[in-house]
Amino acid sequence: MHDWNMWWGGGGMWFGPLWMIVWLLVVVAGVAALVRWLGGAGGDGRAPTRSARDILDERYARGEIDREEYVKRKQDIAGS
């Protein structure tokens, strides 16, 4: 029979911890990929961009601008 501990050069001292670190990295990478996938971010990881009209609508809905300014800016965005 072979003495495998001898074959690895007494590797029991470093081979076990090395595999533990490798598996830990694999688990961390898997969790990170799962979080990104479930996060709903775009394929490139950036948040979806909002249009100028969306931002204007939100400002009007929050009461930051009045109707007159809303209509004027909406026309400016539309180019008319």
Digit-coded pLDDT (tens) for 6-21:
555 555 566 778 889 9
Could you tell me which residue, 79 or 14, shows the higher pLDDT? Answer: 79
- At 29 the pLDDT is 96
Can you tell me the distance from the alpha carbon of 21 to that of 64, in angstroms, rounded to the nearest whole number? 53
Task: Give CA separation, 46 vs 20, 42, 49, 54, in Å.
Answer: 33, 6, 9, 18
Task: Give CA separation, 38 vs 8, 28, 42, 43, 61, in Å.
Answer: 42, 15, 11, 12, 30
Digit-coded pLDDT (tens) for 26-46:
999 999 999 988 875 555 656
> Is the overall model pTM greater than 0.75, yes or no?
no
- At 38 the pLDDT is 86
